[in-house]
Amino acid sequence: MTDQPETSEVQMNGAESLVRTLIGCGVDTCFSNPGTSEMHFVAALDHVPGMRSVLALFEGVATGAADGYFRMTRKPACTLLHLGPGLANGLANLHNAKKAGSGVVNIVGEHAASHVELDAPLTSDIAGIAGPVSHWVHSSGQAADVARDGARAVQAAKTHPGQIATLILPSDTAWTPGGPVARPLPEVAQTPIAPERIDDAVAALDGPDSLLLLGGAALSAENLEMAGRIAARTGCAVLSEWSNARVERGLGRVPVCKVPYPIDMALETLARYRRIVLIGARAPIGFFAYPGKPAVLTHPDARIVALADTGADLGAALAMLCDGVGALCMTAAVGTPGDISMPDGAITPESIAAVLALAIPENAIVVDESVTTGRAFFAATEGAAPHSWLNNCGGSIGFGLPVAVGAATACPDRKVLALIGDGSAMYTIQALWSMAREQQDVTIVIFSNRSYEILRGELTNVGVQNPGPRAVDMLSLNRPDLGWVSMAQGLGVEATRVEDCAALAHALRAGLSSQGPYLIEAVM
Amino acid sequence: MTDQPETSEVQMNGAESLVRTLIGCGVDTCFSNPGTSEMHFVAALDHVPGMRSVLALFEGVATGAADGYFRMTRKPACTLLHLGPGLANGLANLHNAKKAGSGVVNIVGEHAASHVELDAPLTSDIAGIAGPVSHWVHSSGQAADVARDGARAVQAAKTHPGQIATLILPSDTAWTPGGPVARPLPEVAQTPIAPERIDDAVAALDGPDSLLLLGGAALSAENLEMAGRIAARTGCAVLSEWSNARVERGLGRVPVCKVPYPIDMALETLARYRRIVLIGARAPIGFFAYPGKPAVLTHPDARIVALADTGADLGAALAMLCDGVGALCMTAAVGTPGDISMPDGAITPESIAAVLALAIPENAIVVDESVTTGRAFFAATEGAAPHSWLNNCGGSIGFGLPVAVGAATACPDRKVLALIGDGSAMYTIQALWSMAREQQDVTIVIFSNRSYEILRGELTNVGVQNPGPRAVDMLSLNRPDLGWVSMAQGLGVEATRVEDCAALAHALRAGLSSQGPYLIEAVM
């Protein structure tokens, strides 16, 4: 593929050639927190139409939003980040995006090459910072290369299932005449599926001691439908990983339970399976290691058939498997309305789950960072109206609010419901302002238990049965209590505080029936 | 140096051996945001006395606090961070701490070695993330090594002027029996000062076209006193770098002006000097590169004598230079009360400067992240009551509030005055909660200009004279306006909003005369 210079383009600078290339490659949304070294990129955004810019007040919001955007659109957005420290602030949510298989194109400004040598205050090893969270890192050498480098970055970000591509843009390559615009590069092929693995998988799935374990794109509605047929034919169980980038679920869809997070429950759940077929999932391991407990969660005698990893065409893998077991004509069991009545009284993990099951609107996007509070939510909402469910796949908290920004940017016609622990919400609280600015239709429930509750359990897991005051204090978010309504209002978001189930249900109706962001502090 | 095992210690686990070693090495303060992999360290903090723990709700608060703590005590604190993503969240303020020459010991939890191989969700290349901001990185191999590794980390952090040491603590090395406690390692020697450089410097400083440029520890009160004598003897000018970790200044101290930030002003200021002696400073370069402007700010013919870098004994360098020029008996010019009257009317950068000059209490610590608003503050406060002034040396905004937490932790008997731009404050707003929890005596002034004002200037600098609405929108913090009083109250901090100088002065008196944190939103 060659790029023919066009007369009108030869005078554009590198930044403009990059913006035009990104747009031409289908990247039309930029989550940004720019600085001086990105001013030429900002100037190009100003006069080149076609790129929507969403401003974040902290970079972790921008990178998390790009993750949420990809999950809902299957196409990468770009981020605009200021030098190494700006990238660093976005790193934790890039870690989460990487583990979720989301594609993101990071544009990171850098000093001019001659200035890097001088070691100015903001100089840092940007490529070094990017490396641990990126599949692809490149620094443009000259303005004439920038457009092609941008096309390469998009190609990398679109590599299945999605990858983190970081393009470092020295300011001299941004301001020097560059161009021409580069055309999109061809898509990288998906991982092939070995035919003999299909035969292995067909042989493995037989009866209730066999398991089809799903992850990634295998959790779309139509792929789950095929998994349901396979289960109906073979009698195998179907589970998903604990954390999933996106599951399509609810009434009329094939339900799928998750491998539990707590290590003892996970071991118990998986102990019964002797043959496990993986499609888009990895062999189950513990989230953490614990003294005296196994890290590999499956039975020692379990035989594992890794049929297709997340880079493969998981729909094709399921179709071949469905055909192989003779399930094409089967009918999958689907979710039915749950027998759930509106709870009253105190707000507890169980009562919230029931309220949510009744409240989730049709076609909603649920962003779940409810941590300890939310462990019962998933099962309870199996029969709720059809919806998408997004988990934190990298375990770095502070993921939920930014991902909600990205999901709402991607799907302005869908309701977004963000379920966030209070500890988690504080890492990237700045996301509320972006929701207010963009008037995004997001209802946020903050589970205010005033504690890193998960860590109290983990302290017990590591053998501390009676923690003293210093340890308890390091896991407590009281002293002072966080005032979620005040914080939200300060960030431009309407908010209310509820202390019982009836008030929670009422507030959820109010939030979900209004336009714009709405925050509910659920006091536990 | 050998460590003799003591009978009472042989059963302690690695985490406890590390806590006891850190305390024994003089590290008695921990700014923490722990997670599961750090639970054994938390448990050790719980039952080993001697380590003060300050909880942060975001890791950038913890790392910035460690920076502020070091600047005021000259000894490292430790941070406690959760795996790679927790470290990543603290990276930007570690960048700032590194550029300021602050010593910090990061304790970063890691999965057990056997678990890292399994690539669990939270697995990442922690050493890779740490590298760009650390002088020293090490991952403990076994529990028996942890104590010695901790002593090595402290030794590295104390290397002059101060370094970033990152110790990665795999959870199995934390929970396995370890010990014994390691003794402190000897201090690393300071950089020697070459005697011939003293002669060069003596020859260079002669008349108003010569400059003594200071940075780092050269800006202590007694070192500035020597610089003042040298200036009185030789007629040289004395300047400091634009950003300084800590300057001791005010009434009765030798005043020092800074090389300006705006590139044109910096070039103009430095154009007159032909001979420049550096003590703790680096040869002046632009903060950023700009098209068509030089990056090296000194006159092309200027001769630069690098007498002592920040790793040297800067007091000794100044004493030798003072002796060399025959200035030991000279009297330095010192700051005198300014002829400043209380302004009235609107809040402007100039009127704030006057209000501050009258308001700064004796022995206050001023943390300056006022960015554009504050460029006149430094000169105007030269004759204020004696105080310490702390700048952002790495240019990554979000530095000020966390550094104020650390300074207040270090100096509970001193008033802390944090001057913060609204854009900057939003990066690490979580710091307010730590101030409230610790009831720190910090008065915060937020300059609410609802803009990344500095970037509007930079957009002009790169040649965009009439930015369009898309560019302006990406530099604007309105839509919606940030409600600082609400946010502060939500984080447990008393707050008020002022719109004119009289109200600002009144609020400053209220904040500085009360105990505990107090936030003032100064509307511009």
Q: What is the pLDDT of residue B3?
A: 44
B216 located within any domain: yes
Task: Give the type of residue at A489.
Answer: Q
Per the CB < 8 A criterion, the answer to whether A442 and A517 are in contact is yes
- What is the distance between the alpha carbons of residues A101 and A394, in angstroms, rounded to a whole number? 10
Mean predicted confidence (pLDDT) in B201-229: 98
CATH of the domain at B242: 3.40.50.1220
Residue A83: list chain B partners with CB under 8 A: 396
A168 located within any domain: yes
Q: Are B138 and B37 in a shared domain?
A: yes
Q: Are B375 and B456 in a shared domain?
A: yes
Contact state of B289 with A490 under an 8 Å Cβ cutoff: no
Could you report the per-residue pLDDT of A11-53, keeping only the tens digit for each?
799 999 999 999 999 999 999 999 988 999 999 998 899 999 9
Residue A430, pLDDT > 70, answer yes
Task: Name which residue leads in pLDDT, B473 or A325.
Answer: A325
A340 located within any domain: no
Mean predicted confidence (pLDDT) in B194-203: 96
Best residue of A117, A124, A175, A484 to probe chain B, by most B CBs closer than 10 Å:
A124
**Whether the complex's predicted ipTM surpasses the cut of 0.85:** yes
The secondary structure of B379-424, three-state, reads: HHCCCCCCEEEEECCCCCCCCHHHHHHHHHHHCCCCCEEEEEEHHH
Best residue of B428, B451, B486 to probe chain A, by most A CBs closer than 10 Å:
B486
Cα-based angle B47, B432, B520 (whole degrees, multiple of 5): 150
Best residue of B93, B124, B164, B420 to probe chain A, by most A CBs closer than 10 Å:
B124
Closest-CA residue of A relative to B487 is: A487
Chain B closest-CA separation from residue A457 CA (Å)? 9
A159 at the B interface (CB within 8 A)? Answer: no
B473 at the A interface (CB within 8 A)? Answer: yes
Q: Are B170 and B123 in a shared domain?
A: yes
Could you report the per-residue pLDDT of B85-142, keeping only the tens digit for each?
999 999 999 999 999 999 999 999 999 998 998 999 999 999 999 999 999 999 999 9
Mean predicted confidence (pLDDT) in A99-128: 95
A60 at the B interface (CB within 8 A)? Answer: yes
Q: What is the pLDDT of residue B1?
A: 38
Contact state of A89 with B427 under an 8 Å Cβ cutoff: yes
Q: How many domains does chain B have?
A: 3
Strand boundaries in B215-334, DSSP class E: 237-240, 247-249, 257-258, 275-279, 303-308
Q: What is the pLDDT of residue A4?
A: 43
Name the CA radius of gyration of chain B, rounded: 24
Q: Are A516 and A385 in a shared domain?
A: yes
- What is the distance between the alpha carbons of residues B391 and B370, in angstroms, rounded to a whole number? 9
b/e string for A276-287 if b means 16 or more Cβ within 10 A? bbbbbbbebbbb
B393 → closest Cβ in A121, A131, A395: A121
A97 at the B interface (CB within 8 A)? Answer: no
Could you report the per-residue pLDDT of A415-428, keeping only the tens digit for each?
999 999 999 999 99
**A156 Cα distance to chain centroid:** 18
Tally A–B CB contacts below 8 A: 305
Q: What is the mean pLDDT of chain A?
A: 94
Phi, psi of A96 (to 5 degrees): -60, -40
Per the CB < 8 A criterion, the answer to whether A63 and A93 are in contact is yes
Could you report the per-residue pLDDT of A189-222, keeping only the tens digit for each?
999 999 999 999 999 999 999 999 999 999 999 9
Per the CB < 8 A criterion, the answer to whether B53 and B69 are in contact is no
Closest-CA residue of A relative to B479 is: A437
The last residue of one of the domains, among A125, A140, A175, is A175
A199 at the B interface (CB within 8 A)? Answer: no
Chain B closest-CA separation from residue A189 CA (Å)? 25
Q: What is the pLDDT of residue A127?
A: 98
Mean predicted confidence (pLDDT) in B37-47: 91
Q: Is the Cα dihedral B211, B387, B103, B391 positive or negative? A: negative
Q: What is the pLDDT of residue B145?
A: 97
Q: Are B244 and B392 in a shared domain?
A: no
Could you report the per-residue pLDDT of A210-264, keeping only the tens digit for each?
999 999 999 999 999 999 999 999 999 999 999 999 999 999 999 999 999 989 9
A326 at the B interface (CB within 8 A)? Answer: no
A332 located within any domain: no
Task: Find where tokens 């790009």 sit.
Answer: A66
Q: What is the pLDDT of residue B5?
A: 41
Could you report the per-residue pLDDT of B391-435, keeping only the tens digit for each?
999 999 999 999 999 999 999 999 999 999 999 999 999 999 999
Residue B95: list chain A partners with CB under 8 A: 84-85, 88, 124
CATH of the domain at B432: 3.40.50.970
Which segment of A318-322, A381-385, A471-475, B84-88 scores lowest on mean pLDDT?
A: A471-475
- What is the distance between the alpha carbons of residues A434 and B45, in angstroms, rounded to a whole number? 38
A329 located within any domain: no
Tokens of B262: 């705006």
Q: What is the pLDDT of residue A192?
A: 93
Mean predicted confidence (pLDDT) in A495-524: 97
Q: What is the pLDDT of residue B461?
A: 76
Q: What is the pLDDT of residue B465?
A: 78
Taking the alpha carbons at both ends of chain B, their separation in whole angstroms is: 60
Inter-axis angle of helices B143-157 and B14-24, nearest 10:
30
Chain A, residues 451-470, CB within 8 A of chain B, namely 454-455, 458-459, 461-464, 467-470
Q: Are B319 and B370 in a shared domain?
A: no
A122 located within any domain: yes
Contact state of A47 with B85 under an 8 Å Cβ cutoff: no
Q: Residue B69: which domain range? A: 7-175
Closest-CA residue of B relative to A85 is: B92
DSSP A422: H
pLDDT band at B208 (very low <50, low <70, confident <90, very high): very high
Chain A, residues 232-261, CB within 8 A of chain B, namely 243
- What is the distance between the alpha carbons of residues A27 and A18, in angstroms, rounded to a whole number? 11
Q: What is the pLDDT of residue B2?
A: 40
B249 located within any domain: yes
Contacts of B511 (CB under 8 A, 6+ apart): B443, B444, B518, B519, B520
Q: Are B293 and B439 in a shared domain?
A: no
Mean predicted confidence (pLDDT) in B161-188: 96
Task: Find where tokens 């809040």 sit.
Answer: B347
Residue A454: list chain B partners with CB under 8 A: 36
Chain A closest-CA separation from residue B36 CA (Å)? 6
B116 at the A interface (CB within 8 A)? Answer: no
pLDDT band at B217 (very low <50, low <70, confident <90, very high): very high
Q: How many CB atoms lie within 10 A of CB B503?
A: 16
Name the CA radius of gyration of chain A, rounded: 24
Residue B6, pLDDT > 60, answer no
B243 → closest Cβ in A121, A133, A475: A121
pLDDT band at A3 (very low <50, low <70, confident <90, very high): very low
Q: Are A205 and A155 in a shared domain?
A: no
- What is the distance between the alpha carbons of residues A138 and A153, in angstroms, rounded to a whole number? 8
The percentage of residues in chain B with a pLDDT greater than 70, rounded to a whole number, is: 98
Task: Give the type of residue at A232.
Answer: A
Residue B383, pLDDT > 70, answer yes
Query: DSSP 3-state assignment of B301?
Result: coil
B262 at the A interface (CB within 8 A)? Answer: no
Give the strand pairing for B387-391 and B247-249: antiparallel
A35 at the B interface (CB within 8 A)? Answer: yes
